[in-house]
Amino acid sequence: MIVTETERGWRCITQPDHAHLSHDILALWRADGVPDHPRRRELLFAVREHDNGWREADSAPRLDVERGCPHDFITHPHGDRLSIWRRGIRRFAEERPYVAALILEHAIYLHRERRGEPDWDDFLAECDARRLELGSKLDIDAQTLEADYRWLHIADRVSLAACAGWAAPFEREGVSGRFDGETLHLDPFPLAGATAFTIPCRYLPGGEYGSDAELATALAVCRWRSWPLRIAP
């Protein structure tokens, strides 16, 4: 879950909804040959599902006692995070190995600096073995898969900048971004024109939540809302 403190309370956006925004952005991407990508359909599916392992976790979020809000994707308990990524990769490994391979690349990239840490080292060694296994099922080489992952990486970062309300400018894969609270500005601009999106979210009131159950009850009565986002040059 992506949790941001706002004047209206804690804005909660699920990881799958953030991933769907990533998909919608890349689906409208008109630069760099994306419209004619030879694996466009599968690539877009992978972008939409790259956080699928978070579905179960975001449906029953855990309480971050220190902040008094749900754990977000950064503070989420370690053991659960390992299960989340294993589940997300495994879900498509048999029927859509290309999709699973891109999700796997994302997991490796996100946790690359964890090598050498006992629990994470085991997980990353497992990922390395799974990479070879999935690679044997694909008709593209590792370099091509790495090039394709670039699109998941950039779409994820553009969506995350908006969903998390980043104030600082960012740059990924040659595209710079700046979010002013309502509009995400990109340069060079990759879409056909300025575009409006809506993101499902809930605003959780600040307060004292003594347990995961109390948090779940509070979230259950929060009304789902559509948060508007504009992407422009």
The pair of structure tokens assigned to 74 is 């950064």
What is the model's pLDDT at position 79?
Answer: 85
| Start-end of H helices in the chain | 15-27, 40-48, 55-59, 78-90, 97-110, 118-135, 142-163, 212-220
Q: For residue 12, what pLDDT is reported?
A: 97
Please report the pLDDT score of residue 204 as a whole number: 96
pTM over 0.85: yes
Residues with Cβ within 8 Å of 190's Cβ and at least 6 positions away in sequence, in order, are 29, 30, 31, 32, 34, 175
Predicted confidence at residue 148, as pLDDT, reads 97
Give 10-residue mean pLDDT values along the chain (233 residues): 95 98 98 96 98 96 93 91 95 97 97 88 94 95 96 97 94 93 96 97 92 95 96 98
SS3 31: coil
Q: Are strands 69-70 and 63-64 parallel, antiparallel or unpaired?
A: antiparallel
